[in-house]
Structure 1
Amino acid sequence: MPIDVVTYRVFIASPGGLSAERAAVREEVEKFNQIYATDSGFAFRAQSSEDVPGGAGRPQGLINELVGRCDYMILILGPRWGSHSAVNGKFTSGTEEEFFLAKECIPRTDSPMLDILVLFKGIPEDQMSDPGDQLKKVLDFKVKLEESKELLYKTFDNLESLRQEINARLRGWMSQKSSRETPVPVEVPVPVPVEVATSPIYTGVKVGQKLSARSITGEVQEISPGGSALASAEALEAKGLMTQAEAAYAKAIVESDVASLEKYARFLRRTGRFAKSLEINRQVLTRLVGSGESKDTVVERARILVSIGIVERKLGDLRNSRYSLNEAVQTARMGGVDALDVLAYALDNLGITASRTGDNNQSLECYQEALSARRESGDEIGQARTLTNLARWYKKSGQTEMAKEKCAEAIEILGKLDDQSALASAHATMGEILEVESDLVEAEKSYRTALQINEASGMPDNIAMSLNQVARILFERGDLAVAERFAQRSLDENERTSNREGMVSSSHLLGRIFGKTSREILAIGLLDEAATAYAEIGNPNGEAWARFHLSEVQLSVGNRAEALQSLGKANSLVAVTGNEQLRSIVEGVIEETS
């Protein structure tokens, strides 16, 4: 039976010089339609100024008419802002006029406009450190978005990351439109330091207003290269002024000293610019390799290798993450007792990556050695972090009492110290253990405690993980509408930081929710896609769960043969991962279904 496909128009707005990016957006829209349109009944049609036929009247006016007929806008900005769209006009460029028109249309009941995605192309550091007039206007606009918090924006560093952003947002729009109820907009709290909160707060840009108040150019332009620029960059980052912090970091690395490059790479990682962070980290490693074999240099090399391994894991490249972290461990061993902290750091991260790839034996060995190294160095916070990792390992292997013991020990240590990130991680892990024991009430309390701590500390990856955990508990308790909102918030946070592992996890949960809310076709698509993505990033445990959940939905719609196939794949993966909890569940369902 043919499905009626509803098509939504997406306007691509951008100044000149971004033809490759516009083409990539169109290609992703077409690819999305080929995969999803027939089954979901949703499709998108890319539109831009190139689609406007000639005619009488102001050219920009004709473009504006098309904008007014569109359902979504994707705004892409690079180093250019564009030129005036009219003589003595109130807008400084045609792109600016299109953006404000779309923004004005969103709340109007007579307009189809629903959402705007703003994407900034990463700017080379030499341009950021000395921007011309065109780039200054782009940066001013970015500052205003950052301050107003009215719209989320993303930064991409290459066409591949742009494609990922487009695909993720199209799927998000499809999910929202497929909901039986109008989605309730939920803002993810963004912590603001006291000194920022007490200053005048920007309340939004009026249509036609120039984006120049509190410009980036004044605060950053006066910074000179070297240490003062680095200090300013770190101070701006601490205040949450990320656009200005990036410009300051760009100035700090003009002389390309290792310390500035390393901190810039860490900044990029924290803000979700993983590909760029990897590039800068590799630059640092190249410099360090040629800097001799002193203990300090060896320790720094190990630290950079750990950073590279973490970024590769965030990008879903578990194979190379494992290689990098193994090398980090070997390098740290060369540093002897002076490198105990970085050795433990490398071992903990190698344990995490090994666990994701299903090598539970290496994972346990890494955690045990890391704990020994941290105790030898007297690092209490580090001990708590490693104990939390051990708790996860014992939980995964079915030893919940041992898991609770290790986790409780970590929480007790952290209760006397001041490391909110580690404390949140320990509470989240306790929630996972309690969830396995089916104590959903106490598990939710632990997850919400972790979420509260993470929101206060403002780490997007951690916030996204906590949101997903709370959503999962709500799903298990049957509160599907609220679970969906939390899961969507988690997906949004993961998309904001380009955390591929996180995006797969959030999509996986949304697929389960859709399967319970009469959206089985979408559920099957999302769960199958999640299973494939887990396989691509080398996470057999995640793939096994996704295959199992896919089989549940397939059984619910009568696809018994396909369900048995999915269960068979899940069972094969369980044999690799050693996940006793899932093994028992899968074998039970296979027995009932056969």
Structure 2
Amino acid sequence: MVDALPLRIFLASPGDLPGEREVIRTCVEEHNARSGGGSNVTYEVVGWERVRGTARRPQEAINELIGESHFLVALFKGSWGSESGSPWGYTSGSEEELFTGLLELGRAEQPMRDVWVAFLDHPSPAEQIVKLREQMSRHHAVMYESIADIRELKAKLTERLEAWEALAGSKVHRHVDLMPSSGKDVLRAANLRLRGEKLVDLGQAEAGRAALQEAAVLGGPAEQLAYARSLARHGELDDAYIATQRAIDHFISGASHLNSPLAAEAFAAQAGVLRRQGRDVDAIGRLEQAVTLLNEDDAYAQKVRCRILDDLGLAHQKIGDLDSARRTFQESLDSRRGLRNGLDVCQSLVNLARLEVRVGNLETAASYADEVVMNLRGTPPTALHANAEVLAAQVLLRQGRPDEGMPHAERALSLNRQIASRRGEAISLLLLAQCCRAAGRGREAEEYARACLEVNRAMGNEKGEQRAQWIIDQLDQ
């Protein structure tokens, strides 16, 4: 039997607790040794020491490590810690780490399962520590403990480690309301953004948009960009442009590092609005600017860079510069192969396949599509899985093989329903209607087209309604 990988505990604390940090590590090692044969659950402790040098704000790299962790332990005693240069209203690195863990706890797709705060006894703790403890005692008593000495710290941590074993297999995401020392309600803003994005995916466009708008007022660039995407989907492109400019201005003003992934994503988001406005040449300029903001030696920045290269390739494709589009897509693919990220490699293959469909190289497109579908089989369903099945069905339909395309379209429909993507569901239904119509199965084609019409109507997607209605009209002739 292969042992399971250890669950990762991120250890957050100000700099006045080196001894207590070592106690935490020793306690975890002792727990792992005791658990030896009786449990398959072990832990590893990580902290800021794990992060290598980076051209970005150092805390950003630490936050990414928290995003890969299953649990977070935060220790506070006398000192609050030093400022981290955060634009989000955090006044110390430890505070930012704690709140990053709480944000991760509220995201269903992230591994963070629990956060535990230990307040160690001190005659005169910093005012921020006192206020944080008072907040938690009123609203989140189960998430913290008061610790008298090292012996009690070890005992309380051991109890947590034993309780956490029950959380090893699955996660129940939780949204926590807690105010940072600055008074900026960053948790509420982030949770509103996540809720709004989910509501939009579920087809509840107006409710989702309202949540995203409130998040943009409370939050920072991430929330402003999410709201901008919502506005763009509704065709309110001028307002969407303004929202992206607010996010860009945040970085230009020096409130946050300009050479950072989030700043690059702000420029890329504005490029997306420009593309919707038909200003593809301007969009290409913004995307090329965005790429220059990213550090090529940073793995996360490279992931963002590849996503921007995807958009740049699509913009080149839109203006008919297919050679530049192919070069850009290929550059993204080569980078992703180097990063060994299978899902992202599949996204690049999808982009290249669609380009080959456009130029009529259907055999090449089919080979890309087959590779993507095969590589994704057996992995947890995502929008990429559904897109790959849609692509395979579209290629087969263009090759005059609609019957062979239908199973792919059916899988796409099932996947989109599984991940609650109403837009993807509408696309899959339209594709099924097209395949059935081409295969001479008129009754089924009409059923799928009418279902597509209803989904688009519920989302307020007029173009989607028109495409579905066109098929119905053609079938009536």
Normalising by structure 2, what TM-score? 0.53
CA 1:258–1:486: 2 relative to 1, 3 Å: same
Distance 1:359 1:491 in 2: 34
Distance 2:270 2:370 in 1: 31
Distance 1:358 1:493 in 2: 32
Aligned to 2:316: 354
Q: Does 1:290 align with 2:290?
A: no
Q: Does 1:432 align with 2:394?
A: yes
- Measured on the aligned residues, the alpha-carbon RMSD in Å equals 3.7
Question: Amino acid of the residue matched to residue 258 of structure 1?
Answer: P
Deviation at 1:362, TM superposition (A): 2.5
Distance 1:311 1:454 in 2: 25
Deviation at 1:492, TM superposition (A): 4.5
Q: Does 1:257 align with 2:220?
A: yes
Aligned to 2:149: none
Question: Amino acid of the residue matched to residue 395 of structure 1?
Answer: V
Question: Amino acid of the residue matched to residue 461 of structure 1?
Answer: R
Distance 1:255 1:271 in 2: 22
Deviation at 1:324, TM superposition (A): 2.0
CA 1:230–1:479: 2 relative to 1, 3 Å: same
CA 1:497–1:354: 2 relative to 1, 3 Å: farther
Q: Does 1:444 align with 2:444?
A: no
Distance 1:327 1:375 in 2: 26
Distance 1:342 1:228 in 2: 24
The aligned length equals 295
**1:340 pairs with one of 298, 302, 317:** 302
Distance 2:368 2:291 in 1: 26
Question: Equivalent residues in 2 for 1:482-521 (5 A)?
Answer: 482-494=444-456, 496-497=458-459, 499=461, 502-503=463-464, 507-508=466-467, 510-511=469-470, 513-518=472-477
CA 1:508–1:250: 2 relative to 1, 3 Å: closer
Aligned to 1:308: 270
Distance 1:431 1:496 in 2: 25
Q: Which moved more, 1:450-459 or 1:395-404?
A: 395-404
Q: Does 1:366 align with 2:366?
A: no
Q: Does 1:394 align with 2:353?
A: no
Aligned to 1:415: 377
SS of the aligned residue for 1:336 comes to coil
Distance 1:279 1:244 in 2: 21
CA 1:340–1:395: 2 relative to 1, 3 Å: same
Aligned to 2:243: 280
Aligned to 2:195: 236
Aligned to 1:476: 438
Q: Does 1:330 align with 2:289?
A: yes
| Kept after mapping to 1: 8 A contact 2:336/2:344 | yes
Question: Amino acid of the residue matched to residue 286 of structure 1?
Answer: D
Question: Equivalent residues in 2 for 1:70-89 (5 A)?
Answer: none
Distance 2:218 2:391 in 1: 43
Percent identity (aligned): 20
Structure 2 regions of 5+ residues with no counterpart? 1-170
Question: Amino acid of the residue matched to residue 221 of structure 2?
Answer: V
CA 1:247–1:464: 2 relative to 1, 3 Å: closer
Distance 1:393 1:417 in 2: 25
Deviation at 1:446, TM superposition (A): 0.6
**1:404 pairs with one of 329, 352, 366:** 366
Distance 2:307 2:448 in 1: 31
Distance 1:355 1:489 in 2: 31
Distance 2:459 2:248 in 1: 24
Distance 1:236 1:512 in 2: 35
Distance 1:448 1:396 in 2: 23
Question: Amino acid of the residue matched to residue 257 of structure 1?
Answer: G
CA 1:227–1:463: 2 relative to 1, 3 Å: same
CA 1:510–1:480: 2 relative to 1, 3 Å: farther
| Kept after mapping to 1: 8 A contact 2:433/2:448 | yes
Normalising by structure 1, what TM-score? 0.44
Aligned to 2:340: 378
Q: Deviations over 1:541-580 (max 9, x none)?
A: xxxxxxxxxxxxxxxxxxxxxxxxxxxxxxxxxxxxxxxx
Deviation at 1:368, TM superposition (A): 0.9
| Kept after mapping to 2: 8 A contact 1:282/1:308 | yes
CA 1:326–1:466: 2 relative to 1, 3 Å: farther
Question: Amino acid of the residue matched to residue 385 of structure 1?
Answer: Q
Distance 2:243 2:274 in 1: 13
Question: Amino acid of the residue matched to residue 191 of structure 2?
Answer: S
SS of the aligned residue for 2:279 comes to helix
Deviation at 1:242, TM superposition (A): 6.6
Question: Amino acid of the residue matched to residue 400 of structure 1?
Answer: L
Deviation at 1:385, TM superposition (A): 0.7
| Kept after mapping to 2: 8 A contact 1:381/1:419 | no
Structure 1 regions of 5+ residues with no counterpart? 1-193, 196-218, 519-594
Deviation at 1:225, TM superposition (A): 5.6
Distance 2:185 2:229 in 1: 18
| Kept after mapping to 2: 8 A contact 1:225/1:251 | no
Q: Does 1:459 align with 2:418?
A: no
CA 1:293–1:287: 2 relative to 1, 3 Å: closer
| Kept after mapping to 2: 8 A contact 1:484/1:510 | no
Deviation at 1:300, TM superposition (A): 2.2
Q: Deviations over 1:459-506 (max 9, x none)?
A: 232222211111111111223344234334434444554556x43xx6
CA 1:354–1:283: 2 relative to 1, 3 Å: same
